Amino acid sequence: MIKNFKSKALRKFWQHSDASGIRPDWLKKVSILLDAIDSAETPEDLDFPGSGFHPLKGDLRGRFALTVSRNWRLTFGWEGEDAIDLDLEDYHG
């Protein structure tokens, strides 16, 4: 289940269907990924074709990422059965 968000745009989209802070060409993918995150019981449940799932390294160790587009990722931590601190970021930049 999704516990909380770092990204205000993701929170507004998830809680209020307000897509104003997300690129229109990303909406379908972001929606699919958020639904998958909300249903997952472990981070590894998100390792499905097309998700681009991977654990992060270095300073971001302990967080995970799913591919939205090119360098943009949904990133999140995991606590128990919950995704925490969901963010939409370009951490390669």
CATH number of residue 59's parent domain: 3.30.2310.20
Largest CA distance in the chain: 34
Q: How many domains does the chain have?
A: 1
**Confidence (pTM):** 0.94
- Residues 60-87: tens digit of each pLDDT: 999 999 999 999 999 999 999 999 999 9
- Residues 15-28: tens digit of each pLDDT: 999 999 999 999 99
Residue 14: which H helix or E strand, with range? helix 8-16
3 in any annotated domain = no
Q: Which long-range contacts (CB under 8 A, 24 or more apart) does 61-66 make?
A: 65/91, 66/33, 66/36, 66/37
70 in any annotated domain = yes
- pLDDT reported for residue 6: 98
- Which residues form the domain of 84? 8-89
